[in-house]
Amino acid sequence: MGEESQAEFMRRAIRLSSDNVRRAGGPFGAVIVKGGQVVGEGCNRVTATHDPTAHAEIVAIRDACRRLSTFDLSGAEIYTSCEPCPMCLAAIYWARLERIHFANTKEDAAAVDFDDHFIYEEIGRDPADRAIPRNQLLRDEAIKAFEDWTAHAGRIRY
């Protein structure tokens, strides 16, 4: 794929972010491309949908998976108006996207009050030292679902 195509896909992601600001949404947009075609797109919908996971990248991944009827986006790339946050980065890996193209950096986002630095720090901490306490309960009961999954002949691996 040539630079002009990449620039156009990025411009589309940027346009989604700018349009979303005019609708009172967050300044983030994302486009997923496979085989030179846009297969998914999204903008930040956190406040519009009251969903803290509705970041542009997540919305675009959901859109692409719905359109392609798959949970595996191997062979696809994401163009996003800003460097992905930790949650979106994890979703990109789970979706098996092959490349991330971004415009603004996480430092640019922090400068306008979208600072994920705290989350990056939390991930690196020992779980006992994190801000949100953890408490494991009823593992002996919950493990049964994993055992059932392992024995299930029709399971779909992902």
Report yes or no: 119 and 86 within 8 Å, Cβ to Cβ: yes
Question: CA of 102: how far to CAs of 14, 66, 79, 82, 109, in Å?
Answer: 10, 23, 6, 5, 12
Determine whether 4 is an active site residue: no
Q: CA 120, CA 68: separation in Å to the nearest integer?
A: 32
Q: CA 106, CA 150: separation in Å to the nearest integer?
A: 40
Q: Choose, from 4, 8, 41, 57, the residue flagged as catalytic.
A: 57
Active site (catalytic) residues: 57
